[in-house]
Structure 1
Amino acid sequence: MFKIDEIFSVAGKVVVVTGGGTGLGKAIAAGYYENGAKVYITGRRKEVLDATAEELKKLGGSGSIVTLQGDVATKEGCTKIADAIKEKESKLDVLVNCAGVGNAYKKPAHPDDQDALQEQLQAVDDVDFNQLNSINVNGVFFLTAALVPLLRKSENPSVIIIASIAGLANQRATGSIMYGTTKAAAIHLGTLLAGRLSPFKIRVNTICPGIFPTEMTGDVGGSGMNDMSTRASLRAPLKRGGEPQEIVGPILLLSSKAGGYMHGTHFTVDGGRLMAAGINDGIAQPAETNTYDQF
Protein backbone atom coordinates (compact mmCIF):
# COMPACT_ATOMS: atom_id res chain seq x y z
CA MET A 1 0.00 0.00 0.00
CA PHE A 2 2.84 2.38 0.78
CA LYS A 3 5.51 1.28 -1.67
CA ILE A 4 7.11 4.26 -3.39
CA ASP A 5 6.81 2.64 -6.81
CA GLU A 6 3.06 2.46 -6.30
CA ILE A 7 2.03 5.70 -4.62
CA PHE A 8 4.35 7.92 -6.69
CA SER A 9 3.80 6.10 -9.97
CA VAL A 10 2.98 8.04 -13.15
CA ALA A 11 3.36 5.02 -15.43
CA GLY A 12 0.77 4.96 -18.18
CA LYS A 13 -0.43 8.50 -17.54
CA VAL A 14 -1.03 10.90 -20.41
CA VAL A 15 0.65 14.22 -19.71
CA VAL A 16 0.95 17.59 -21.44
CA VAL A 17 3.86 19.88 -20.57
CA THR A 18 3.80 23.34 -22.13
CA GLY A 19 7.20 24.89 -22.64
CA GLY A 20 8.55 21.35 -22.56
CA GLY A 21 11.48 21.97 -24.86
CA THR A 22 13.73 23.87 -22.48
CA GLY A 23 14.50 24.64 -18.86
CA LEU A 24 12.12 23.43 -16.18
CA GLY A 25 9.69 22.10 -18.79
CA LYS A 26 12.38 19.88 -20.24
CA ALA A 27 13.33 18.52 -16.82
CA ILE A 28 9.67 17.89 -16.00
CA ALA A 29 9.11 16.10 -19.30
CA ALA A 30 12.16 13.93 -18.61
CA GLY A 31 10.81 13.04 -15.18
CA TYR A 32 7.54 11.80 -16.65
CA TYR A 33 9.21 10.04 -19.57
CA GLU A 34 11.73 8.17 -17.43
CA ASN A 35 8.89 6.94 -15.22
CA GLY A 36 6.62 5.55 -17.91
CA ALA A 37 4.25 8.36 -18.88
CA LYS A 38 3.23 9.41 -22.36
CA VAL A 39 4.34 13.03 -22.56
CA TYR A 40 3.28 15.68 -25.02
CA ILE A 41 5.72 18.57 -25.03
CA THR A 42 4.55 21.82 -26.59
CA GLY A 43 6.32 25.01 -27.60
CA ARG A 44 6.67 27.55 -30.38
CA ARG A 45 9.99 26.29 -31.75
CA LYS A 46 9.67 22.94 -33.52
CA GLU A 47 13.42 22.43 -33.83
CA VAL A 48 13.84 22.83 -30.07
CA LEU A 49 11.05 20.36 -29.33
CA ASP A 50 12.47 17.80 -31.75
CA ALA A 51 15.97 18.13 -30.31
CA THR A 52 14.63 17.70 -26.78
CA ALA A 53 12.61 14.64 -27.77
CA GLU A 54 15.67 13.00 -29.32
CA GLU A 55 17.77 13.84 -26.27
CA LEU A 56 15.24 12.41 -23.86
CA LYS A 57 14.76 9.24 -25.89
CA LYS A 58 18.45 8.52 -25.44
CA LEU A 59 17.84 8.34 -21.69
CA GLY A 60 16.08 5.04 -22.24
CA GLY A 61 12.96 5.89 -20.28
CA SER A 62 9.93 3.60 -20.17
CA GLY A 63 7.50 6.24 -21.43
CA SER A 64 7.09 8.02 -24.74
CA ILE A 65 7.59 11.58 -25.99
CA VAL A 66 5.39 13.35 -28.53
CA THR A 67 6.19 16.84 -29.82
CA LEU A 68 3.42 19.29 -30.55
CA GLN A 69 4.28 22.71 -31.91
CA GLY A 70 1.93 25.38 -30.62
CA ASP A 71 1.66 28.81 -29.05
CA VAL A 72 -0.24 29.42 -25.81
CA ALA A 73 -0.12 33.19 -26.23
CA THR A 74 -3.63 33.30 -27.72
CA LYS A 75 -6.93 31.53 -27.13
CA GLU A 76 -6.79 30.32 -30.74
CA GLY A 77 -3.34 28.84 -30.17
CA CYS A 78 -4.49 27.05 -27.02
CA THR A 79 -7.54 25.69 -28.80
CA LYS A 80 -5.37 24.28 -31.58
CA ILE A 81 -3.14 22.52 -29.05
CA ALA A 82 -6.15 21.05 -27.26
CA ASP A 83 -7.77 19.93 -30.52
CA ALA A 84 -4.57 18.18 -31.61
CA ILE A 85 -4.44 16.25 -28.34
CA LYS A 86 -8.15 15.36 -28.52
CA GLU A 87 -7.53 13.77 -31.92
CA LYS A 88 -5.02 11.36 -30.35
CA GLU A 89 -6.19 10.83 -26.77
CA SER A 90 -9.44 9.88 -25.05
CA LYS A 91 -8.31 11.33 -21.70
CA LEU A 92 -5.67 13.54 -20.11
CA ASP A 93 -4.28 12.80 -16.67
CA VAL A 94 -1.97 15.75 -16.09
CA LEU A 95 -1.56 19.22 -17.56
CA VAL A 96 1.58 21.11 -16.57
CA ASN A 97 1.34 24.79 -17.50
CA CYS A 98 5.06 25.50 -17.60
CA ALA A 99 5.41 27.84 -20.60
CA GLY A 100 6.48 31.26 -19.41
CA VAL A 101 8.40 34.32 -20.48
CA GLY A 102 10.19 37.11 -18.69
CA ASN A 103 11.39 40.51 -19.74
CA ALA A 104 13.85 43.07 -18.52
CA TYR A 105 13.42 46.78 -18.19
CA LYS A 106 14.29 48.85 -21.25
CA LYS A 107 16.43 51.09 -19.06
CA PRO A 108 18.78 49.68 -16.42
CA ALA A 109 18.69 51.30 -13.01
CA HIS A 110 20.18 50.67 -9.60
CA PRO A 111 17.32 50.29 -7.09
CA ASP A 112 18.63 53.27 -5.08
CA ASP A 113 19.30 55.62 -8.00
CA GLN A 114 16.11 57.67 -7.89
CA ASP A 115 16.51 59.47 -11.21
CA ALA A 116 17.42 56.30 -13.11
CA LEU A 117 14.59 54.43 -11.40
CA GLN A 118 12.10 57.09 -12.45
CA GLU A 119 13.22 56.79 -16.07
CA GLN A 120 13.08 53.02 -15.87
CA LEU A 121 9.47 52.95 -14.68
CA GLN A 122 8.32 55.54 -17.19
CA ALA A 123 9.87 53.55 -20.06
CA VAL A 124 7.52 50.61 -19.42
CA ASP A 125 4.73 50.44 -22.02
CA ASP A 126 1.70 48.34 -22.89
CA VAL A 127 3.70 45.77 -24.84
CA ASP A 128 5.84 44.94 -21.82
CA PHE A 129 2.80 43.88 -19.81
CA ASN A 130 0.72 42.42 -22.62
CA GLN A 131 3.39 40.01 -23.85
CA LEU A 132 3.89 38.54 -20.40
CA ASN A 133 0.20 38.41 -19.58
CA SER A 134 -0.63 36.60 -22.81
CA ILE A 135 1.60 33.64 -21.94
CA ASN A 136 2.07 33.68 -18.17
CA VAL A 137 -1.60 34.23 -17.34
CA ASN A 138 -3.95 34.03 -20.33
CA GLY A 139 -2.27 30.93 -21.74
CA VAL A 140 -2.68 29.06 -18.46
CA PHE A 141 -6.39 29.84 -18.36
CA PHE A 142 -7.21 29.20 -22.01
CA LEU A 143 -5.32 25.90 -22.31
CA THR A 144 -6.65 24.57 -19.01
CA ALA A 145 -10.21 25.45 -20.02
CA ALA A 146 -9.77 23.86 -23.45
CA LEU A 147 -8.52 20.59 -21.93
CA VAL A 148 -11.20 20.22 -19.25
CA PRO A 149 -13.17 17.71 -21.39
CA LEU A 150 -10.18 15.36 -21.51
CA LEU A 151 -9.19 15.94 -17.89
CA ARG A 152 -12.70 15.00 -16.74
CA LYS A 153 -12.18 11.52 -18.18
CA SER A 154 -9.15 10.79 -15.99
CA GLU A 155 -9.47 8.93 -12.68
CA ASN A 156 -7.10 11.37 -10.95
CA PRO A 157 -6.85 14.53 -13.06
CA SER A 158 -4.24 17.08 -12.07
CA VAL A 159 -3.43 20.56 -13.32
CA ILE A 160 -0.11 22.04 -12.25
CA ILE A 161 0.87 25.67 -12.77
CA ILE A 162 4.53 26.67 -12.70
CA ALA A 163 4.60 30.21 -11.33
CA SER A 164 7.53 31.78 -9.44
CA ILE A 165 8.46 33.17 -6.04
CA ALA A 166 8.59 36.48 -7.95
CA GLY A 167 4.81 36.43 -7.54
CA LEU A 168 5.15 36.29 -3.75
CA ALA A 169 8.29 38.23 -2.84
CA ASN A 170 8.85 41.98 -2.90
CA GLN A 171 12.27 41.83 -4.50
CA ARG A 172 13.40 45.29 -5.48
CA ALA A 173 16.24 44.28 -7.72
CA THR A 174 15.50 40.80 -9.02
CA GLY A 175 13.36 40.53 -12.13
CA SER A 176 10.86 43.12 -13.30
CA ILE A 177 7.63 44.45 -11.84
CA MET A 178 5.86 43.22 -14.97
CA TYR A 179 7.13 39.65 -14.53
CA GLY A 180 6.35 39.53 -10.82
CA THR A 181 2.86 40.88 -11.44
CA THR A 182 2.04 38.17 -13.98
CA LYS A 183 3.35 35.45 -11.70
CA ALA A 184 1.26 36.77 -8.82
CA ALA A 185 -1.71 36.61 -11.18
CA ALA A 186 -0.80 33.04 -12.13
CA ILE A 187 -0.72 32.01 -8.47
CA HIS A 188 -4.16 33.49 -7.81
CA LEU A 189 -5.45 32.03 -11.07
CA GLY A 190 -4.41 28.62 -9.76
CA THR A 191 -6.47 29.21 -6.63
CA LEU A 192 -9.50 30.34 -8.63
CA LEU A 193 -9.25 27.42 -11.06
CA ALA A 194 -9.00 25.01 -8.14
CA GLY A 195 -12.29 26.33 -6.83
CA ARG A 196 -14.04 26.43 -10.19
CA LEU A 197 -12.87 22.96 -11.29
CA SER A 198 -13.64 21.25 -7.97
CA PRO A 199 -17.02 19.89 -9.19
CA PHE A 200 -15.07 17.98 -11.85
CA LYS A 201 -12.67 16.54 -9.24
CA ILE A 202 -9.83 18.19 -11.19
CA ARG A 203 -7.10 19.09 -8.75
CA VAL A 204 -5.18 22.33 -9.38
CA ASN A 205 -1.93 23.18 -7.61
CA THR A 206 0.79 25.76 -8.17
CA ILE A 207 4.55 25.44 -7.82
CA CYS A 208 6.62 28.58 -7.23
CA PRO A 209 10.26 27.87 -8.09
CA GLY A 210 13.17 29.99 -7.03
CA ILE A 211 16.37 30.20 -9.07
CA PHE A 212 16.85 27.26 -11.42
CA PRO A 213 18.99 27.00 -14.58
CA THR A 214 16.66 28.07 -17.42
CA GLU A 215 16.84 30.34 -20.44
CA MET A 216 15.55 33.17 -18.25
CA THR A 217 18.47 32.75 -15.82
CA GLY A 218 21.03 32.59 -18.61
CA ASP A 219 21.28 28.82 -19.00
CA VAL A 220 21.54 28.46 -22.77
CA GLY A 221 22.65 25.09 -24.05
CA GLY A 222 23.54 23.95 -20.55
CA SER A 223 26.17 26.67 -20.13
CA GLY A 224 25.04 27.56 -16.62
CA MET A 225 23.35 30.56 -15.02
CA ASN A 226 24.50 34.11 -15.64
CA ASP A 227 26.24 36.10 -12.95
CA MET A 228 23.13 37.96 -11.85
CA SER A 229 21.14 34.75 -11.38
CA THR A 230 24.02 33.05 -9.61
CA ARG A 231 24.23 35.87 -7.08
CA ALA A 232 20.46 35.77 -6.63
CA SER A 233 20.63 32.05 -5.87
CA LEU A 234 23.27 32.65 -3.19
CA ARG A 235 20.73 34.69 -1.23
CA ALA A 236 18.83 31.48 -0.51
CA PRO A 237 19.73 29.89 2.84
CA LEU A 238 20.86 26.79 0.93
CA LYS A 239 23.33 29.02 -0.98
CA ARG A 240 22.70 27.58 -4.43
CA GLY A 241 20.29 27.27 -7.31
CA GLY A 242 17.91 24.37 -7.73
CA GLU A 243 18.70 21.04 -9.39
CA PRO A 244 16.40 19.45 -12.02
CA GLN A 245 15.35 16.57 -9.77
CA GLU A 246 14.25 19.09 -7.15
CA ILE A 247 11.48 20.37 -9.42
CA VAL A 248 10.63 16.92 -10.78
CA GLY A 249 10.04 15.53 -7.27
CA PRO A 250 7.12 17.86 -6.42
CA ILE A 251 5.73 17.39 -9.93
CA LEU A 252 5.58 13.60 -9.54
CA LEU A 253 4.01 14.04 -6.12
CA LEU A 254 1.18 16.19 -7.49
CA SER A 255 0.67 13.82 -10.44
CA SER A 256 0.38 10.58 -8.48
CA LYS A 257 -1.66 8.92 -5.76
CA ALA A 258 0.72 10.41 -3.20
CA GLY A 259 -0.59 13.87 -3.99
CA GLY A 260 -4.19 12.87 -4.54
CA TYR A 261 -5.45 14.90 -1.55
CA MET A 262 -3.57 18.08 -2.49
CA HIS A 263 -5.79 20.68 -4.10
CA GLY A 264 -5.68 24.48 -4.29
CA THR A 265 -2.19 24.71 -2.78
CA HIS A 266 1.01 26.43 -3.81
CA PHE A 267 4.48 25.10 -3.11
CA THR A 268 7.65 27.19 -2.89
CA VAL A 269 10.66 25.27 -4.22
CA ASP A 270 13.38 27.83 -3.72
CA GLY A 271 15.96 26.71 -1.16
CA GLY A 272 14.43 29.14 1.32
CA ARG A 273 14.92 32.16 -0.97
CA LEU A 274 11.46 33.54 -0.23
CA MET A 275 12.16 33.36 3.49
CA ALA A 276 15.28 35.47 3.04
CA ALA A 277 14.00 37.86 0.38
CA GLY A 278 12.63 40.45 2.77
CA ILE A 279 15.85 40.43 4.78
CA ASN A 280 18.44 41.13 2.11
CA ASP A 281 16.74 42.65 -0.91
CA GLY A 282 16.30 46.04 0.68
CA ILE A 283 19.97 46.56 1.58
CA ALA A 284 21.03 49.82 0.01
CA GLN A 285 24.14 50.00 -2.17
CA PRO A 286 25.74 53.21 -3.43
CA ALA A 287 24.31 53.86 -6.89
CA GLU A 288 27.71 54.51 -8.38
CA THR A 289 28.95 50.99 -7.59
CA ASN A 290 26.33 49.40 -9.84
CA THR A 291 27.17 46.00 -8.36
CA TYR A 292 23.64 44.86 -7.53
CA ASP A 293 25.03 42.87 -4.62
CA GLN A 294 21.66 42.98 -2.90
CA PHE A 295 20.32 40.27 -5.23
Structure 2
Amino acid sequence: MSYLDELFSVAGKTALVTGAATGIGRMAATALVHGGASVMIASRKGEDCVRVAGELNGLGASGRAEGFAGDVSSEAGIASLVAEVRSRTERLHILVNNAGVSWGAPLEDFPYHAWAKVFGVNVTAVFHLTRELLPLLDAAASDEDPARVINLGSVMGTQPLADDAYSYTASKAAVHHLTRTLAIEFAARRITVNAFAPGPFQSRMTAFATATEEQAKHVGGHVPIGRIGTPDDIAGATLYLCSRAGSYVTGAILPIDGGQSVQHGLTLFKE
Protein backbone atom coordinates (compact mmCIF):
# COMPACT_ATOMS: atom_id res chain seq x y z
CA MET A 1 0.00 0.00 0.00
CA SER A 2 1.41 3.39 -0.98
CA TYR A 3 1.87 6.23 1.52
CA LEU A 4 -1.15 8.09 0.14
CA ASP A 5 -3.33 4.98 0.15
CA GLU A 6 -2.41 4.29 3.76
CA LEU A 7 -2.87 7.91 4.85
CA PHE A 8 -6.42 8.15 3.52
CA SER A 9 -7.50 4.52 3.98
CA VAL A 10 -10.61 3.54 5.92
CA ALA A 11 -10.12 -0.16 5.11
CA GLY A 12 -11.57 -2.49 7.71
CA LYS A 13 -13.57 0.24 9.46
CA THR A 14 -17.28 -0.05 10.22
CA ALA A 15 -19.48 2.99 9.60
CA LEU A 16 -23.09 4.09 9.99
CA VAL A 17 -24.42 6.85 7.73
CA THR A 18 -27.96 8.06 8.46
CA GLY A 19 -30.14 9.44 5.69
CA ALA A 20 -27.76 7.87 3.17
CA ALA A 21 -30.20 6.84 0.44
CA THR A 22 -29.81 10.20 -1.30
CA GLY A 23 -27.75 13.37 -1.48
CA ILE A 24 -24.76 14.11 0.71
CA GLY A 25 -25.30 10.99 2.83
CA ARG A 26 -25.07 8.77 -0.21
CA MET A 27 -21.96 10.66 -1.37
CA ALA A 28 -20.26 10.05 2.00
CA ALA A 29 -21.30 6.38 2.05
CA THR A 30 -19.99 5.89 -1.48
CA ALA A 31 -16.61 7.36 -0.50
CA LEU A 32 -16.35 5.09 2.53
CA VAL A 33 -17.17 1.98 0.46
CA HIS A 34 -14.53 3.00 -2.10
CA GLY A 35 -12.12 3.44 0.83
CA GLY A 36 -12.63 -0.12 2.04
CA ALA A 37 -15.11 0.37 4.90
CA SER A 38 -18.17 -1.69 5.80
CA VAL A 39 -20.98 0.86 5.67
CA MET A 40 -24.45 0.60 7.18
CA ILE A 41 -26.93 2.84 5.36
CA ALA A 42 -30.11 3.74 7.23
CA SER A 43 -33.01 6.06 6.49
CA ARG A 44 -36.78 6.10 6.90
CA LYS A 45 -37.20 4.39 3.54
CA GLY A 46 -35.60 1.00 4.19
CA GLU A 47 -36.21 -0.31 0.67
CA ASP A 48 -34.31 2.66 -0.78
CA CYS A 49 -31.38 1.88 1.53
CA VAL A 50 -31.35 -1.77 0.47
CA ARG A 51 -31.35 -0.68 -3.18
CA VAL A 52 -28.57 1.88 -2.70
CA ALA A 53 -26.46 -0.64 -0.76
CA GLY A 54 -26.84 -3.04 -3.69
CA GLU A 55 -25.73 -0.34 -6.11
CA LEU A 56 -22.69 0.47 -3.98
CA ASN A 57 -21.79 -3.22 -3.72
CA GLY A 58 -21.91 -3.32 -7.52
CA LEU A 59 -19.13 -0.72 -7.84
CA GLY A 60 -16.41 -3.33 -7.46
CA ALA A 61 -14.92 -1.34 -4.57
CA SER A 62 -12.99 -2.89 -1.68
CA GLY A 63 -15.65 -2.00 0.91
CA ARG A 64 -19.24 -3.14 1.22
CA ALA A 65 -22.61 -1.71 2.16
CA GLU A 66 -25.79 -2.95 3.82
CA GLY A 67 -29.02 -1.01 3.97
CA PHE A 68 -31.98 -1.07 6.34
CA ALA A 69 -34.69 1.20 7.74
CA GLY A 70 -33.84 3.66 10.48
CA ASP A 71 -35.98 6.57 11.63
CA VAL A 72 -34.26 9.13 13.87
CA SER A 73 -37.33 11.38 14.22
CA SER A 74 -38.40 9.83 17.54
CA GLU A 75 -36.85 8.33 20.67
CA ALA A 76 -38.37 4.94 19.81
CA GLY A 77 -37.01 5.15 16.26
CA ILE A 78 -33.52 5.90 17.52
CA ALA A 79 -33.70 2.99 20.00
CA SER A 80 -34.73 0.68 17.17
CA LEU A 81 -31.88 1.91 14.95
CA VAL A 82 -29.34 1.45 17.75
CA ALA A 83 -30.60 -2.11 18.32
CA GLU A 84 -30.25 -2.80 14.59
CA VAL A 85 -26.67 -1.51 14.56
CA ARG A 86 -25.78 -3.48 17.71
CA SER A 87 -27.10 -6.66 16.11
CA ARG A 88 -24.68 -6.15 13.21
CA THR A 89 -21.46 -4.98 14.89
CA GLU A 90 -19.75 -4.71 18.27
CA ARG A 91 -17.76 -1.61 17.31
CA LEU A 92 -18.40 1.49 15.25
CA HIS A 93 -15.41 3.40 13.90
CA ILE A 94 -17.38 6.07 12.02
CA LEU A 95 -20.77 7.70 12.62
CA VAL A 96 -22.07 10.17 10.05
CA ASN A 97 -25.14 12.00 11.39
CA ASN A 98 -26.46 13.04 8.01
CA ALA A 99 -30.25 12.60 8.31
CA GLY A 100 -31.98 15.97 8.19
CA VAL A 101 -35.19 17.76 7.33
CA SER A 102 -36.09 21.30 6.36
CA TRP A 103 -39.17 23.49 6.28
CA GLY A 104 -39.74 26.57 4.19
CA ALA A 105 -42.46 29.18 4.65
CA PRO A 106 -42.69 32.97 4.70
CA LEU A 107 -42.10 34.58 8.09
CA GLU A 108 -45.78 35.48 8.49
CA ASP A 109 -46.93 31.90 7.88
CA PHE A 110 -44.12 29.90 9.46
CA PRO A 111 -45.84 27.18 11.54
CA TYR A 112 -45.13 26.52 15.21
CA HIS A 113 -44.75 22.75 14.73
CA ALA A 114 -42.06 23.23 12.07
CA TRP A 115 -39.62 24.10 14.84
CA ALA A 116 -40.12 20.92 16.87
CA LYS A 117 -40.03 18.75 13.73
CA VAL A 118 -36.84 20.25 12.31
CA PHE A 119 -34.96 20.50 15.62
CA GLY A 120 -36.06 16.96 16.50
CA VAL A 121 -34.33 15.43 13.49
CA ASN A 122 -31.50 17.91 12.92
CA VAL A 123 -30.35 18.46 16.52
CA THR A 124 -32.01 16.19 19.09
CA ALA A 125 -31.40 13.06 17.02
CA VAL A 126 -27.74 13.95 16.46
CA PHE A 127 -27.18 14.19 20.21
CA HIS A 128 -29.32 11.22 21.20
CA LEU A 129 -28.11 8.78 18.52
CA THR A 130 -24.47 9.68 19.16
CA ARG A 131 -24.90 9.18 22.90
CA GLU A 132 -26.68 5.86 22.45
CA LEU A 133 -23.91 4.61 20.14
CA LEU A 134 -21.09 5.74 22.46
CA PRO A 135 -20.34 2.20 23.73
CA LEU A 136 -19.74 1.05 20.13
CA LEU A 137 -17.64 4.14 19.36
CA ASP A 138 -15.64 3.60 22.58
CA ALA A 139 -15.00 -0.02 21.55
CA ALA A 140 -13.53 1.13 18.24
CA ALA A 141 -11.47 4.07 19.58
CA SER A 142 -7.74 3.98 20.28
CA ASP A 143 -4.91 6.47 20.87
CA GLU A 144 -3.51 5.80 17.39
CA ASP A 145 -6.85 5.74 15.59
CA PRO A 146 -9.75 7.63 17.21
CA ALA A 147 -13.36 6.82 16.42
CA ARG A 148 -14.96 9.52 14.26
CA VAL A 149 -18.25 11.38 14.34
CA ILE A 150 -19.24 13.69 11.49
CA ASN A 151 -22.35 15.84 11.88
CA LEU A 152 -24.07 17.56 8.98
CA GLY A 153 -24.22 21.29 9.45
CA SER A 154 -24.69 23.86 6.72
CA VAL A 155 -23.38 27.15 5.37
CA MET A 156 -26.80 28.40 6.54
CA GLY A 157 -25.65 27.67 10.08
CA THR A 158 -22.64 29.96 9.72
CA GLN A 159 -24.19 32.79 7.70
CA PRO A 160 -27.23 34.83 8.87
CA LEU A 161 -29.35 33.64 5.97
CA ALA A 162 -32.85 32.18 6.35
CA ASP A 163 -34.30 31.95 2.83
CA ASP A 164 -37.65 31.15 4.48
CA ALA A 165 -36.07 28.11 6.25
CA TYR A 166 -36.01 29.69 9.72
CA SER A 167 -35.96 26.52 11.81
CA TYR A 168 -33.46 24.83 9.47
CA THR A 169 -30.87 27.60 9.58
CA ALA A 170 -31.15 27.88 13.39
CA SER A 171 -30.91 24.09 13.74
CA LYS A 172 -27.69 23.95 11.72
CA ALA A 173 -26.10 26.64 13.90
CA ALA A 174 -27.07 24.44 16.85
CA VAL A 175 -25.41 21.42 15.17
CA HIS A 176 -22.19 23.40 14.82
CA HIS A 177 -22.19 24.37 18.48
CA LEU A 178 -23.10 20.85 19.61
CA THR A 179 -20.24 19.53 17.46
CA ARG A 180 -17.72 21.72 19.27
CA THR A 181 -19.22 20.86 22.66
CA LEU A 182 -19.01 17.11 22.06
CA ALA A 183 -15.54 17.40 20.51
CA ILE A 184 -14.02 18.61 23.77
CA GLU A 185 -16.07 16.18 25.88
CA PHE A 186 -15.15 13.16 23.74
CA ALA A 187 -11.46 14.00 23.26
CA ALA A 188 -10.37 11.99 26.30
CA ARG A 189 -12.35 9.02 24.94
CA ARG A 190 -10.35 9.22 21.69
CA ILE A 191 -13.40 10.13 19.61
CA THR A 192 -13.18 13.07 17.21
CA VAL A 193 -16.29 15.11 16.43
CA ASN A 194 -16.41 17.37 13.39
CA ALA A 195 -19.08 18.85 11.13
CA PHE A 196 -19.49 19.49 7.45
CA ALA A 197 -20.97 22.88 6.57
CA PRO A 198 -21.90 22.34 2.92
CA GLY A 199 -23.13 24.88 0.45
CA PRO A 200 -25.47 23.82 -2.37
CA PHE A 201 -25.29 20.20 -3.57
CA GLN A 202 -27.79 18.17 -5.57
CA SER A 203 -30.00 16.28 -3.12
CA ARG A 204 -33.64 15.53 -2.40
CA MET A 205 -33.73 18.51 -0.04
CA THR A 206 -32.42 20.95 -2.66
CA ALA A 207 -34.20 19.36 -5.64
CA PHE A 208 -36.55 22.37 -5.87
CA ALA A 209 -33.52 24.48 -6.83
CA THR A 210 -30.89 22.08 -8.25
CA ALA A 211 -32.79 19.24 -9.97
CA THR A 212 -31.91 20.22 -13.54
CA GLU A 213 -28.51 21.15 -14.93
CA GLU A 214 -29.88 24.59 -15.77
CA GLN A 215 -31.05 25.12 -12.19
CA ALA A 216 -27.75 23.83 -10.78
CA LYS A 217 -25.85 26.24 -13.02
CA HIS A 218 -28.05 29.12 -11.86
CA VAL A 219 -27.50 28.31 -8.17
CA GLY A 220 -23.78 27.79 -8.84
CA GLY A 221 -23.66 31.32 -10.18
CA HIS A 222 -24.24 32.59 -6.61
CA VAL A 223 -21.19 30.66 -5.33
CA PRO A 224 -17.80 32.44 -5.41
CA ILE A 225 -16.11 29.44 -7.06
CA GLY A 226 -18.91 29.41 -9.64
CA ARG A 227 -20.50 25.97 -9.27
CA ILE A 228 -22.45 23.77 -6.87
CA GLY A 229 -20.77 20.92 -5.02
CA THR A 230 -20.05 17.49 -6.50
CA PRO A 231 -19.82 13.98 -4.96
CA ASP A 232 -16.00 14.17 -5.03
CA ASP A 233 -16.12 17.28 -2.82
CA ILE A 234 -17.92 15.29 -0.11
CA ALA A 235 -15.81 12.18 -0.74
CA GLY A 236 -12.52 14.00 -0.19
CA ALA A 237 -13.70 15.60 3.04
CA THR A 238 -15.15 12.31 4.33
CA LEU A 239 -12.02 10.27 3.67
CA TYR A 240 -9.83 13.00 5.16
CA LEU A 241 -11.73 13.19 8.44
CA CYS A 242 -12.24 9.41 8.77
CA SER A 243 -8.70 8.25 7.92
CA ARG A 244 -5.30 8.62 9.58
CA ALA A 245 -5.00 11.94 7.72
CA GLY A 246 -7.69 13.47 9.95
CA SER A 247 -6.96 11.79 13.27
CA TYR A 248 -5.73 15.04 14.91
CA VAL A 249 -8.71 17.13 13.79
CA THR A 250 -11.63 17.60 16.17
CA GLY A 251 -14.15 20.40 16.75
CA ALA A 252 -13.84 21.62 13.17
CA ILE A 253 -16.75 23.04 11.19
CA LEU A 254 -15.48 22.30 7.69
CA PRO A 255 -16.90 24.60 5.01
CA ILE A 256 -17.54 22.71 1.75
CA ASP A 257 -19.23 25.60 0.03
CA GLY A 258 -17.06 27.11 -2.70
CA GLY A 259 -16.42 30.22 -0.59
CA GLN A 260 -19.96 31.05 0.51
CA SER A 261 -19.03 31.11 4.20
CA VAL A 262 -16.67 34.03 3.55
CA GLN A 263 -18.87 35.74 0.98
CA HIS A 264 -20.11 39.21 1.84
CA GLY A 265 -21.32 42.35 0.14
CA LEU A 266 -19.25 44.78 2.18
CA THR A 267 -16.90 47.38 0.82
CA LEU A 268 -15.08 49.97 2.93
CA PHE A 269 -13.06 52.24 0.68
CA LYS A 270 -13.19 50.72 -2.77
CA GLU A 271 -16.12 51.66 -4.97
The 2-side partners of 1:244 and 1:64 are apart by 18
Mapped contact 1:12–1:36 kept (Cα < 8 A): yes
The 2-side partners of 1:219 and 1:89 are apart by 37
Give, as a single letter, the amino acid of the residue that structure 1 aligns with 2:260: R
The 1-side partners of 2:164 and 2:50 are apart by 30
What percentage of residue pairs aligned between the two structures are identical? Answer: 33
The 1-side partners of 2:234 and 2:241 are apart by 11
- What does the per-residue CA deviation read over 1:2-55, in whole Å, with 9 as the maximum and x for residues that have no partner? 811111100010000001110011111111112210000010002211221122
Please give the residue correspondences for 1:181-196 in structure 2 after superposition, counting only pairs within 5 Å.
Answer: 181-196=170-185
Shift of 1:230: 4.6
The 1-side partners of 2:122 and 2:167 are apart by 11
Give, as a single letter, the amino acid of the residue that structure 2 aligns with 1:158: R
Query: Which residue is 2:127 aligned to?
Result: 141
Query: Which residue is 1:90 aligned to?
Result: 90
The 1-side partners of 2:229 and 2:71 are apart by 27
| 1:217 matches 2:238 | no
Shift of 1:171: 2.4
Shift of 1:96: 0.4
Query: Which residue is 1:164 aligned to?
Result: 154
Please give the residue correspondences for 1:270-285 in structure 2 after superposition, counting only pairs within 5 Å.
Answer: 270-276=257-263, 278-279=264-265
Please give the residue correspondences for 1:122-271 in structure 2 after superposition, counting only pairs within 5 Å.
Answer: 122-154=108-140, 155=142, 156-171=146-161, 174=163, 176-218=165-207, 223-224=211-212, 227=215, 230-271=217-258
Please give the residue correspondences for 1:51-90 in structure 2 after superposition, counting only pairs within 5 Å.
Answer: 51-90=51-90
The 2-side partners of 1:164 and 1:7 are apart by 27
Shift of 1:279: 1.7
The 2-side partners of 1:262 and 1:223 are apart by 34
Shift of 1:223: 4.8
- Could you tell me which runs of 5 or more consecutive residues in structure 1 were left unpaired when the two chains were aligned: 106-119, 281-295
- What does the per-residue CA deviation read over 1:39-92, in whole Å, with 9 as the maximum and x for residues that have no partner? 000100022112211221221111111112111112221122112111221211
Shift of 1:197: 1.6
The 2-side partners of 1:167 and 1:226 are apart by 26
Relative to structure 2, which stretch is displaced further, 231-240 or 15-24?
231-240
The 2-side partners of 1:54 and 1:88 are apart by 17
The 2-side partners of 1:175 and 1:255 are apart by 34
Tell which structure's C-alpha radius of gyration is larger: 1
- TM-score scaled by structure 2? 0.91
SS at match of 1:212: coil
Give, as a single letter, the amino acid of the residue that structure 2 aligns with 1:69: A
Give, as a single letter, the amino acid of the residue that structure 2 aligns with 1:210: G
The 2-side partners of 1:275 and 1:175 are apart by 21
SS at match of 1:216: coil
**1:102–1:230: structure 2 CA closer, same or farther, 3 Å change rule?**
farther
The 1-side partners of 2:78 and 2:214 are apart by 32
The 2-side partners of 1:144 and 1:52 are apart by 24
Query: Which residue is 2:269 aligned to?
Result: none
- What does the per-residue CA deviation read over 1:193-237, in whole Å, with 9 as the maximum and x for residues that have no partner? 1122222111100110001111111179x954683x653331111
Query: Which residue is 2:27 aligned to?
Result: 27
CA RMSD, Structure 1 to Structure 2 (Å): 2.0
Give, as a single letter, the amino acid of the residue that structure 2 aligns with 1:259: G
**1:79–1:104: structure 2 CA closer, same or farther, 3 Å change rule?**
same
Shift of 1:175: 5.1
- Could you tell me which runs of 5 or more consecutive residues in structure 2 were left unpaired when the two chains were aligned: 267-271
